[in-house]
Amino acid sequence: MDKEKLVNEAKAVFSREDVACLIGYGKDSIGFRVSPIFIRTRDEADQLFFSPLCSLSLVNYLTLEKGVLLEGNKETGGEKIAIVARGCDSRALIQLFAERGIPREQVVILGVPCRGTIDLKKIEGKFPDARNCTEVTEAEGMYYIRFDNESHEVPKEELLADHCKHCAFPNPLVYDVLLEDLVDSKGAAYSDIEEMEKMALEERHEYWKDKFARCLRCYACRNACPLCYCDDCILERVSPQWVNRSVNLSENLMFHLARSYHLAGRCAGCGECERVCPVNLPLMLLNRKLEKDIKNIFEYTAGSNLDDKPLFASFNPKDPNDFIF
């Protein structure tokens, strides 16, 4: 992205009297890492940037601590927060608007068409000694990486985040400012899900048994998810207690199945759960399996239409209900 255009648009946002904060991406001081930054003045906008390294979703910061940022703005005179949003982020925002988790009128969206982001674990694994990343750009299926006075060319497919390979919504679906021209999009692809569906039941059981046995129950997946914003999380209740605190296979299985079903018809496909998982669990396989089934059964895709109601908050009066005896 043209950094100058990003900075200029951010400064233009601050010319409005009703915007008190902008959430965007800033370069970290370590290797290839990128950090969320909170801009509160026009002069601070120069810190903003966007590159294929910007893999984390910023939407979660709108709902943390019951929307403390949004509420805090009212005290400082501003009523709105601006946020840089990619395609998957815009889906999460649309879902939040539909669920009334965030008022649409309190958010100014700077839309960024996304060509896919780099998996931090992959690039750090390939270049473990990199200290200061200068720049990462993309062209014709290659990433061009500069750090420590060195230049490298790596095929995009080697470093691309797995969830980006299946993304059907690279362009923001809702925005107030569009920062770049729209990119080509493709339909949803579920080849990996279909391969797993072909596996024998016992084989699938062993696959997930091996994965969930590694889970630390650190709650990073839940905490990073922009759609996990319940004030009272059922997975932490002690009266009644639905999931025990002990870390073992059965409790881990219950935890992840409950979370995936909670996201059914809601997951925006941002891949935050996988990005933050310290043991690399393929959690998007669960989420996308439910996304595929819901799309086939209800013709519904979460966060794809600003006018849609939440899936389980609506009904079709013509539904035959053949499953009810």
**What does the pLDDT look like over 261-291, one tens digit per residue?**
999 999 999 999 999 999 999 999 999 999 9
pLDDT for res 72:
61
pLDDT for res 325:
55
pLDDT for res 118:
96
pLDDT for res 121:
94
**87-110 mean pLDDT:** 94
In which band, very low, low, confident or very high, does the pLDDT at 1 lie, cut at 50, 70 and 90? confident
Vertex 66 angle, CA 261 and 40, to 5°: 125
CA–CA dist 234, 14 (Å, integer): 39
Q: Strands 150-155, 142-147: parallel, antiparallel or unpaired by DSSP? A: antiparallel
pLDDT for res 316:
72
Judge whether 134 and 151 are in contact, CB under 8 Å: no
Whether residue 23 has pLDDT greater than 70: yes
Count CA atoms within 13 Å of residue 215 on its CB side: 30
Whether residue 73 has pLDDT greater than 80: no
Q: Kindly report, residue by residue over 48-67, the tens digit of the pLDDT.
A: 999 999 999 999 998 875 45
Q: Kindly report, residue by residue over 116-135, the tens digit of the pLDDT.
A: 999 999 999 999 988 888 78
In which band, very low, low, confident or very high, does the pLDDT at 315 lie, cut at 50, 70 and 90? confident
**297-308 mean pLDDT:** 92
Whether residue 238 has pLDDT greater than 80: no
Which comes out higher in pLDDT, residue 74 or 81?
Answer: 81
Q: Using CB atoms within 10 Å of the CB of residue 200, give its burial: 0 to 12 exposed, 13 to 18 middle, 19+ buried.
A: exposed
Residues in the chain: 325
CA–CA dist 185, 153 (Å, integer): 25
Whether residue 109 has pLDDT greater than 90: yes
Backbone angles phi, psi at 153, to 5 degrees: -120, 125
What is the distance in angstroms between the CA of the first residue and the CA of the last residue of the chain?
57
Please give the C-alpha separations between residue 39 and each of 73, 93, 177, 241, 273, in angstroms, as whole numbers.
13, 20, 17, 41, 26
Edge to edge, what strands does the sheet with 80-85 contain? 34-39, 19-27, 80-85, 107-111, 177-178
**228-242 mean pLDDT:** 80
Q: Closest Cα partner for 306 from 140, 93, 27? A: 93
CA–CA dist 54, 292 (Å, integer): 27
Please give the C-alpha separations between residue 179 and each of 25, 95, 233, in angstroms, as whole numbers.
14, 22, 36
pLDDT for res 149:
85
CA–CA dist 224, 59 (Å, integer): 9
Percentage above 90 pLDDT, the chain: 66
pLDDT for res 132:
80
Whether residue 145 has pLDDT greater than 90: yes
Backbone angles phi, psi at 305, to 5 degrees: -145, 125
In which band, very low, low, confident or very high, does the pLDDT at 43 lie, cut at 50, 70 and 90? very high
Q: Kindly report, residue by residue over 133-142, the tens digit of the pLDDT.
A: 878 999 999 9
> What single letter denotes the amino acid at residue 200?
A
Q: Kindly report, residue by residue over 182-232, the tens digit of the pLDDT.
A: 999 888 889 999 999 999 999 999 999 999 999 999 999 999 999 998 888
pLDDT for res 198:
95
- Look at the block and give the residue holding tokens 């905490």: 223
Please give the C-alpha separations between residue 213 and each of 210, 224, 248, 249, in angstroms, as whole numbers.
5, 21, 7, 5
**pLDDT averaged over the chain?**
89
pLDDT for res 242:
78
